[in-house]
Amino acid sequence: MMSQLLESEAASPLRAKVVAVSLCLAFGAVGIQGGLIALAGDAKEYSLFDTTVSEAPQLRRADILDRNGERLATSISVYSLFADPSAVWDATELAGELVAIFPELDYDALESRLADRDRRFIWIKRGLTPEERKAVFDLGLAGIDFREEARRYYPKGSLATHVLGFTDVDGKGLSGVEHALQTRLSESLEPIQLTLDASVQYSLEAELSAAAVETNAIGGAGVVMDARTGEVLGMASWPTFDPNRPQDSTENERLNRATGAVYELGSVFKPLTMAAGIDLGEVQLREAFDVRNPIRIGSHAIHDDHPVPNGWAATPTAILSNSSNIGTAQIGLRIGKDRQVRFLTSAGLFDSAPLRVSGSASPLIPDYWNDLTTATVSFGHGIAVSPAAFTAAFSSLANEGDYLAPTIVKEADPLDDPRVPERIMSSPTAQVVVEMMRVAVTDGTGKNADVVGYRVAGKTGTAEKPGPNGYDPNRNMSSFAAVFPADDPKYTVLIVLDEPEDDNGRALSAAFSAAPAVGRVIERIAPILDVVPYFEDLRPTGPQARTVSDRRSL
């Protein structure tokens, strides 16, 4: 017993020395780690170091607002999950637990990355929901942590999504205004105000979507513009998508058909041709045109889809209201190639729409311009332009003959050229063409666009789509362009529908697809824009005396 006690007492100093040395080594390691952290920054930032992953702190982007201050895009705080593989105890266990919470993760790939102890940082999942974060936190496993980030959020969902665009997971703009104004949005927290009106935008999107679904169209676009300022109040493309989840959308859904696609829009070009002819002195208002027989140019013949009343002596107003290709082609040939090109160039139709959104498409212009080209372009065939560019050109009719480049951003950009109005036709010419278009709505092809009290003036456009074997009569681009109110025009509306059909698969003309859609848009937005209705005649004398909503229900 005594010998054991003596041995124990002799061993005690040895144990004390071992414990002391161990504690010194432990504290030394902690001291070294602390020194490294002191040099590199705080512990969380040090743990994020990895040369294969971008670690720059994600900065908040400036908000995007509509013209009335409604927030369309903002930045919110979210938490993202990362791991430090060098601190993971069991990669197999951790990978299994995480895949149970996030089934979309690849287990094998995740386990392999977590087992790589040479790495100090890997992303597991970005932008966790509060429920997901709590589930991970409750695991209580070592080697994982959260990082607070700024994430782009669109509080109104898909509203104006093609205008706004979206960002990637790191907050970099990939399309729309988000891309076009990337530098401005990322370097300043001062909000950017757009010219859009959220209420007008909602009305436009709702009616465009309804028209596209009702007519079985494969796509569509719509634009509402303040003709006096060139400000875009609404711009829509269909089909659409949710910018909060762009990964769930297709390329077709992300295409902005209002600016990023070009179309042969057809007869909506005729008012511009008529304006050029009048302004150049090639058309007299009381003149009579013979539109009974097709015009032959070489081996091609230009004809009308339906005969014009009193076709042997058709007035300019009758040509426009009845959408005569023959009469418009005669005017185009009088104008001639050089003056036609000059006029269309001054109307901005030989350039992409100068809007601050990414991917504004350039027009498709004929490589060779002869008499046939001049004739067909006069009624909107052979030249393809974006709906946004055309709306700006058409707005010159409502702006007393002045073309004003369109804009979608309220604030002035010092790098942009000043938006100076350009006179492309006289004010009296613009006024008389608007009066002709009013007749086209009351008595011509645009009857289905009329709205009681708001004096709509406009023009239908039905163009066969070009294909590999020429123009296809079974596939139409249908459009309707309008200005209102006709007696004091302030606003322009354009609706374009791609391949609208009835339920039997027959192609629909603009009179029965795009025109009623424009009427419904005007009926909804006119009160928003404080346009006071004027009731010329309250007697129910015909279809034009019913409201657009009534007609839609028939």
Q: Which residues are catalytic?
A: 267
**Cβ pair 517, 211 in contact under 8 A:** yes
Tokens of 170: 């790191």
Cis previous bond, 428, omega within 30: no
What does the CA dihedral 149, 152, 154, 157 come to, rounded to 10 degrees? Answer: -90
Question: Which CA distances in Å does 234 have to 102, 163, 217, 411, 483?
Answer: 39, 9, 21, 17, 14
Do residues 386 and 357 lie in contact, with contact meaning Cβ atoms separated by under 8 Å?
Answer: no
DSSP 458: E
Residue by residue, DSSP assigns 261-284 as: --B--GGGGHHHHHHHHHHTTS--
The pair of three-digit structure tokens given for residue 474, joined into one six-digit string:
């079974």
Strand 402-403 vs strand 422-423: parallel, antiparallel, or unpaired?
antiparallel
Bond prior to 473 in cis (omega within 30° of 0): no
DSSP string, 71-93: EEEEEEEEEEEEE-GGG-S-HHH
If phi over 0 gives left and psi between -120 and 50 gives alpha, with beta otherwise, what is residue 191? beta
Q: Which two tokens stand for residue 295?
A: 């015009």
Q: What is the DSSP string of 219-241?
A: EEEEEEEETTTTEEEEEEEES--
How far is it, in rounded angstroms, from Cα 424 to Cα 403? 6
Distance of CA 484 to the CA centre of its chain: 24
3-state secondary structure 19-68: HHHHHHHHHHHHHHHHHHHHHHCCHHHHHCCCCCCCCCCCCCCCCEECCC
Main-chain dihedrals φ then ψ at residue 149, nearest 5 degrees: -135, 165
Q: Which residues of 192-228 are buried (b: 16+ CB within 10 A; e: fewer)?
A: bbbbbbbbbbbbbbebbbebbebbebebbbbbbbbbb
Q: How many CA atoms lie within 13 Å of 297's alpha carbon, on the beta-carbon side? A: 15
